Structure 1
């Protein structure tokens, strides 16, 4: 049976800018149902090729300092360092969705990576549906091996699929242009 409310939510959902998210942040009891919803994403072969790293407020200052350290080591200018560090300095809670592929003769790594992306979107939508403000942001630091291994504890075969910042929204998210469906959709009949 169609659920008009769910369809309306999916067709009108908007992410909140991370800089507009403040306390109160979701607690563990608030966050766990969102993680359960996200983990119901498509997962061919039932491999669970992803995991979560919950970044709580106490970890954010350490991560911001590590971003600045890695940014300087990589030669990023001060503006790039400041922008990346601000994602942690100004946030009280984020969930890192880690793509953690599993050896499989049947399920290619690319499909496992897609599953981690689906988990990221499902977590974002679950947070928004639960009434939180949320934003999916990554940035250069999330692709730097030194940062993700020291900051998030990733293994060599793992990558960041997404970082979902969740908090209390203090502003209505801005509208943005949406895709022209006729331009991006092909209908094949034969």
Structure 2
């Protein structure tokens, strides 16, 4: 089943695919090109989330979606902590195309305060952390509400990570199955 490319104008989102840049926890690009892909069922639920965010006067700002196995290994090699990075020998929901890392932004593209940046691998990035500002707590709750209403599940240790229910039931996808090389 071919994955869906997530990009404007079909998806009214902002793309900031950090793993195609050095602005990520590895300090180097781990994708050769910025391409945002999702399983068709995840893409459908993302469209619902886009509409729900728009109803709040907001946009979705995407950091990551499908992640090829080589990229998962690069992250694991940089931080082999299963709290934050799925062991590539087991596979991740990103490697199945049913996970997305994102935040909320204003219509002008300004990111809402979330208490940490994307890929901040400390307990302060946990959804339930209350040491962050009340504004950031409220924004995390708003993102959680939008994504939950669209049918996504949150990951308790990363405020930015959402996945489809029963993510492990979807098959892992090798990047070769996606067509032209992603890496």
Q: TM-score, normalised by structure 1?
A: 0.38
| Structure number, greater radius of gyration | 1
If each structure's helix is expressed as a fraction of its own residues, which one has the higher value?
A: 1
The structure whose RCO (Cα within 8 Å, separation 6+) is larger is 1
